[in-house]
Amino acid sequence: MPGAKTHDAIALASSVVIAPISYMALAVRGDTPIEAAAGAGLLIGAHLIGSFWLSPDLDIDSAIDNRWGPLFWIWRPYMWAVPHRHRIFSHSGISGLLRIAYLYLIVCLMLITAMLLATWFGATPSWPAIRTLNEWVLGLIINHPREAGLIAIGIVLSDLIHTATDHVSTFSRRQLRAIGLRGRRR
């Protein structure tokens, strides 16, 4: 399985390939050049965020969760609950979207905790914060379905590329070991 630096390099290289393809696909679909460029930029941005901060390797203690800095602990429950390389929850096309849903849940739980603590200390909590977050997310999906779809596609692509890289690396190592060109793993 490649390390974080290899996955990062592949993510950057794949974004260079995906950018013109997504631009052309959006232009063929009927977008103006500015709309196609913005859509391609959004897709590439989501792909890079998915690759660098929402990687399938968040289910192990790795360089990826270290990128979250002091918020690395957000991913500990995910790490404990999701087996590494699980076909659905860790390394699949939709697992990146599941990680976004997990992150959304964590943010909601943090808001609820903050409001409960505020109540405990005698302050009046701002319960509408959770409603505002929900409205913002639903508003993005309902009012901007094209943009939400491009974000989802970018996240899914980052997941698929990462998973394909892992499978190619594992397959190659097994083949080299089978023909005796690489020592056995200890």
In a domain, 183, yes or no: no
Tokens 């790795």 correspond to 62
- CB 161, CB 12: distance < 8 Å: no
Bigger pLDDT: 83 vs 183:
83
- CB 95, CB 88: distance < 8 Å: yes
Q: Residues 47, 38, 133, 71: what is their CA dihedral angle, to the nearest 10 degrees? A: 40
In a domain, 186, yes or no: no
Q: Which amino acid is at 11?
A: A
In a domain, 144, yes or no: yes
In a domain, 184, yes or no: no
In a domain, 84, yes or no: yes
Reported as a single tens digit per residue, the pLDDT across 110-124 is: 888 888 888 888 777
Provide the angle, in degrees to the nearest 10, between the axes of the packed helices 33-52 and 145-178. Answer: 50
Number of domains in the chain: 1
Looking at residue 186, its pLDDT comes to 47
Q: Residues 124, 129, 130, 136: what is their CA dihedral angle, to the nearest 10 degrees? A: 170
Cα atoms found within 13 Å of the Cα of residue 71, Cβ hemisphere only = 7
Reported as a single tens digit per residue, the pLDDT across 155-173 is: 999 999 998 998 887 777 7
Q: Provide mean pLDDT across the span 62-91.
A: 86
Q: Terminal CA-to-CA distance of the chain, rounded, Å?
A: 15
pLDDT band of residue 185 (cuts 50, 70, 90) is low
Reported as a single tens digit per residue, the pLDDT across 4-49 is: 899 999 999 999 999 999 999 999 999 999 999 999 999 999 999 9
In a domain, 167, yes or no: yes
Average confidence score pLDDT of the chain: 87
Distance of CA 124 to the CA centre of its chain: 35
List alpha helices for the chain, DSSP H: 4-29, 33-52, 63-66, 76-81, 95-120, 128-143, 145-178
Domain membership of residue 161 as a residue range: 4-178
Using alpha carbons only, what angle is made at residue 44 by residues 17 and 170, rounded to the nearest 5 degrees? 60
Range in 51-60, 64-73, 91-100, 174-183 the model is least confident about: 174-183
Stated pTM of the model? 0.84
Tokens 């020592």 correspond to 183
In a domain, 134, yes or no: yes
Distance of CA 160 to the CA centre of its chain: 11
